[in-house]
Structure formats: C-alpha cells, structure tokens
Structure 1
Amino acid sequence: MAFENDTGGRLTTHVLDTATGRPAAGIEVSLFRLSNGVREAVASARTNADGRCDAPLLTGEEFETGAYELVFGAGAYLDAQRLDLPEPKFLDEVVIRFGMAEQRHYHVPLLLSPFGYSTYRGS
C-alpha cells in the first residue's frame, strides 16, 4: 500500500467475513473521536472488494491520539448476504471502542460472522 511507509500516525481497518473466509465488501464504517463525554464524527468510509477502506480513516494532521469508536454496519452487510437469520439479528452495529496513545500506525480489523466478532491491534 502506498501509505505503508509514511511516518506519523494513521488509522486503518478491514473486515473479514469469517463465515465465508472472504473479505466483507460494502460495509459502512464510521469513526468517532471521544473527548470529555462528547462523541464527534471524524470520518466514514465503505469497505471495498478487498474488505478494506480505500484510504486511511485518519492520517497526517487529522491524526490525534485519544479515545475513539469504530462503528461497522454489520447488520446491513448480513442482510445483503441473504442469510436465513432470525429477527432481530444478533449483530447489527458493531462498535469497537479503543485508544491510540502514540503517533503510529494503528490497524483495527473486524473479523465478522452472523453470531460473533473479534478484533485486535494489527499491523
């Protein structure tokens, strides 16, 4: 990726559909900054065919350390897969609250299935 050698902080994500073993394309991703009880919308994107956003969600001067939330539109994605799931769905919006303490690359992936998810700090 072109931004892999950049210096300074940046935030990236990707989504993998662990039920199919494929990237999860078309998932709406929203990023919020949390500060003093205020939740501020910072960025939004949609995952591409590779399950990744086309550009970092934060980079350069936009990047600030602090507390954040990534919100993934998992329910809409699962609906689009035409799975026979009960209503209401077990997962709809998946919210990952995390902190970034350094001016470094933070990669926060989502591993998703209809009845579970996981995340980790990637590279």
Structure 2
Amino acid sequence: GERILVVDDEERGIPAMRRHWDRFAPWLKEEWIYPVTFEELRIDLVPTVQGIADWLPLPRNRTYEMMDASYPPNSKRHFRAGRVGDWRQEFTPKLVELAKQEFGGLGYEW
C-alpha cells in the first residue's frame, strides 16, 4: 500500500525507524519500564493487562479505572487493521530484509 511506500524509502524508512528505536531501546533495561508487545496485548489481553496492573504502584481498581478511561472501547487507534502478523501483507521482500538486519534481535519471526 501507499503507507509502506513511504516506509520503504531509503532516506525516511528503515534508517529513520532505527533512529527512533535507538532512542527508546535503552529503556527496556530500566526498572521503571514494563515492556509489553502488541502481540501480547492482542493474543493474551487479560493476563497482559493484569500484569501491567500488578506492576503499577497503584491500587488495582484505580489502575483499571485509568486504563478504561484512556481507551474508549470502540476507538480505532491502529494505522492498519491491528492484527498480529498483518505486516506480512504490507512489507516488501526488501523491507523484510532491512527489518531483519535492523530489528532482528527483538524476537520476531520474519
């Protein structure tokens, strides 16, 4: 699709994504970060949200209230379909190879 054409641009695509990732990747090692993947949220929503709620230093009922208020049930906040693995429909072979090189250590299956 058109969106991927922009991402597949040598100047603005993977290198720009890598620069963006490099800014935030060190946070994964910080104790104040609770990392959650998109896939975890889509596949195991309840246990994932419970893990987040247990990790936060707030009473669980307050945590759920805040989560509920921040994400209206019928909102559509995904740029695409929001399905696990749907990127395979959009990525070109070239983009898959670039993503493997740059982000292969994240544990995703390419």
Structure with the largest fraction of helix: 2
Calculate the TM-score normalised by the size of structure 1.
0.23
Structure with the largest fraction of strand: 1
